[in-house]
Amino acid sequence: MERVSGIDEWMESTEYFHYIEQMIERNFKQQYGLSLREFCVLYNLYKQPEKRCKINDLIQSVRLSQSAMSRLVNRLERGETPYVCRNECAEDQRATIICLTDKGIEVAERMMQQFRKLLDKVDFDNIDMLLTATKASLEKE
């Protein structure tokens, strides 16, 4: 089969990233019962100095719609030991603040450690070669 410069490299690199994402998603579901998107919310909250931020900031960083983020936060709030809680914003009562609970901090730290272990298995040199080849092919156009 004939290769088409740029397209084949792009497809290979997206396939590789998709495989990595699936590997991480599967592991998080098995280990913690959480999705990669749910981890992204916990991680973004964890990075904040006070482990909290406005829901609209989370929507932008995780790239979800308002309704999808609300459903995701609802899932993280459920259970005997919720990972997050909601509070009103003192400065803007229309805004909602999402906060990590102690359990959320603990789980985020464990998931971050697991994430790093999974990424240790990734061949980043291969990814770099794919991206370089894709960029070179696209720049020829």
pLDDT at position 4, please?
A: 62
Provide the whole-model pTM: 0.82
Instruction: Identify the pLDDT of residue 60.
Output: 94
pLDDT (tens digit, 0 to 9) for every residue of the chain, 141 residues total?
676 666 777 787 788 889 889 999 999 999 999 999 999 999 999 999 999 999 999 999 999 999 999 999 999 999 788 999 998 877 777 788 999 999 999 999 999 999 999 888 877 777 677 677 667 766 765
The answer to whether 98 touches 104, Cβ cutoff 8 Å, is: no
Backbone dihedral angles phi then psi of residue 6, each to the nearest 5 degrees:
90, -50
Instruction: Report the SS3 class of residue 99.
Output: strand
> What is the chain's percent helix, strand, coil content, to nearest 5?
65, 10, 25
Taken in order of first residue, the domains within the chain and their CATH numbers are 7-140 (1.10.10.10)
pLDDT score of 1: 67
pLDDT at res. 54:
92
At residue 26, the pLDDT reads: 95
What is the pLDDT at residue 11?
81
Tokens describing residue 118: 């999974």
Beta strand 52-54 with 96-100 is antiparallel
